[in-house]
Structure 1
């Protein structure tokens, strides 16, 4: 089997798995609605309870699972290729941490209680602030090491400020709400959240998806890539701001969902060959599969306890991260 045929088969299988999991996300839930009735209610013009559940509860949740999963997988593949670091993931730039800080401040100050969209909007503002700070610290000619160091600094500061907000919170219920939001979840999301995050995600996808040829060239080194006509400033801009746009929007509506952007590209990289450009679409579909599957599982494992999506992905992703470290250590010895 040729490499191209194997790649096309992999993409087709991932696309089919994504479609199946999307349909499962639409039809699995505590309401116990049959598959046929769910599909009919989704496209019918009736105003009954089943239609309300499908259109206002399950459809937004499934769409956000699809969009956020694709975002995390795609951005993880791009950052690992651009930074040439197999342990890079979207949270490395500090975007998730500062988006979380923005949401925490909205909860802490009471803005989220006064205005429903204050929380995602504050999270988006935090993501924008993160990328501006990282870009300013790294500079337009900043190499991958400077970007990583700037991201770590921003992440540490945002984490400290979030802890300070929790420490000083006079209201224990607000502190509990902050903690629950930071765990990551798609519960109780509406189409308003989809329309809010969607445009930013599409812009981010376009920016990141355009980097395929540049990432292929970067496998030969940044100097060689520059000699081949690759504009490294443009690549840095698209990678950083594209990640900020889509990951910031995803974090704004779901909270922090970790390890997907790290795990998915690693699993799929051996299956797509040595070209990073082939990993982009595969990782986007793989990320969508992982988040949709995890969101279905949280409804089945403990539906009455509201198990958080970010908790489940961390339970699976953390051991995988440790395995990566162990494998890297064995290669050095």
Structure 2
């Protein structure tokens, strides 16, 4: 409980900082007045149309990635598992790339996130077809790897065959991941899908705790393993698909956050789920604030920053595992 309270306080502080930090030279009282009362036309535009959607998406995307990572690690019983294993993120990226390349995103603003969500949904259907109704965790991983490879190859094909260099540049920048230039439309598109994902994953706590004893023991305790697998896959797909649809590729959050917070909850998957959601929200909000503070005059991408910070941590995990085996 102390961990939840501390992380909740940290998320609130970072959310407020995300609202108040930016290149616009406006005092804090004026910012708060514009946000709460709507006074000051220019400041209201900055606060309600630019910073508020960005802060809300940082909160939502971070929570989605952190919760998804904790659920995947609990289901696969592997602390190095991450949400991208089931191939939803590359598929959602492919959908967004196609929307950008065909010009649909320019003609119809919601086309990009909708195309990404559609591609994510199709990838989940293919995943269940490939894994089969009785497929275990290994089959699920192999099917996800195959889908990731296919989606990545098709994305590269679109980029290599694109005759429009401006579209290619836009695609590359989008794939780097960012919360800049998002609107409340993105928030409303992602929120219902993420809400479904949260409900699905938060209902898996008892099953994930039982799985720590092994699949046979979990089945003996009355856990319906097929339903648990469907809940985890659908919940992760909804959260990761929606996050990728509105923010692009933001890596390492779903891997690093649950791994760091696991010792604080005694390693119980059920307890780790809400803690990881709060931790993920804090990480993404902090990273997005850093992109504005480090390079205010440059468009530093959120996904680039999380990868720069997350990759060394991943290397640290690898070396620590090697020392444990020697």
Fold-level similarity (TM above 0.5): yes
Per-residue CA shift, 1:150-184, capped at 9, x if unaligned?
Answer: 11110011110011111001011100000000000
**Is 1:261 aligned to 2:254, yes or no?**
yes
**Matched-pair contact (CA < 8 Å) for 2:34–2:40:** no
Separation in structure 2 between the aligned mates of residue 137 and residue 325 of structure 1, nearest angstrom: 30
Among 182, 185, 193, the alignment partner of 1:192 is 185
Q: Distance in 1 between matches of 2:251 and 2:81?
A: 12
Can you list the C-alpha shifts for 1:183-221, whole angstroms capped at 9, x where unaligned?
A: 000001000000000000000000001111111100000
Q: Offset at 1:46?
A: 3.0
2:129 aligned with 1:131: no
Which residue of 2 is the match for residue 204 of structure 1?
197
* 1:166 has 2:159 as partner: yes
Aligned residues: 326
* The one of 12, 18, 23 aligned to 1:25: 18
Alignment of 1:149-298 (within 5 A): 149-298=142-291
Distance in 2, matches of 1:193 and 1:212, equals 29
1:36 shift after superposition: 2.1
Distance in 2 (alpha carbons) for counterparts of 1:116 and 1:274: 43
Mind listing any 5+ residue stretches in structure 1 that lack a counterpart?
A: 1-7
RMSD of the TM alignment (CA)? 0.9
- Aligned counterparts of 1:216 and 1:251: Cα–Cα separation in 2: 28
1:97-108 alignment to 2 at 5 Å? 97-108=90-101
Q: How far apart are the structure 2 equivalents of 1:81 and 1:282?
A: 13
Match for 1:311 among 304, 311, 321? Answer: 304
Q: Which residue in 2 is equivalent to 1:113?
A: 106
Task: Using the TM superposition, name which of 46-55 and 265-274 deviates more.
Answer: 46-55
Are 2:48 and 1:55 equivalent residues in the alignment? yes
Tell me if the contact between 2:33 and 2:39 (Cα under 8 Å) persists in the aligned partners. no
Equivalent-residue separation in structure 1 for 2:233 and 2:13 (angstroms) = 32
Give the unaligned 5+ runs of structure 2: none
CA deviation after TM superposition for structure 1 residue 47, in Å:
5.4
Deviation at 1:111, TM superposition (A): 1.1
Residue 5 of structure 1 corresponds to none
Q: Which runs of 4+ in 1 moved over 3 A?
A: none
1:90 paired residue among 83, 88, 92: 83
SS at match of 1:57: helix
Question: 1:24-54: CA deviations, max 9, x gaps?
Answer: 0000000022222211111113351111110
Give the Cα–Cα distance (whole angstroms) in 2 for the partners of residues 32 and 226 of structure 1: 60
Write the distance in 1 (CA, Å) between the matches of 2:191 and 2:36: 21
Distance 1:32 1:10 in 2: 36
Query: Secondary structure of 1:91's partner?
Result: helix
Deviations 1:31-83 (A, max 9, x none): 02222221111111335111111000000000000000000000000000001
**1:94-137 per-position Cα deviation (integer Å, ceiling 9, x unaligned):** 11100000000111111111111111111001111111111111
CA distance in 2: counterparts of 1:17 and 1:36, whole angstroms: 22
1:74 is the counterpart of 2:70:
no
> Given the alignment of the two structures, is residue 145 of structure 1 paired with residue 138 of structure 2, yes or no?
yes
Shift of residue 327, structure 1, vs aligned partner: 1.5
Determine the C-alpha separation between the residues in 2 that align with 1:37 and 1:272. 41
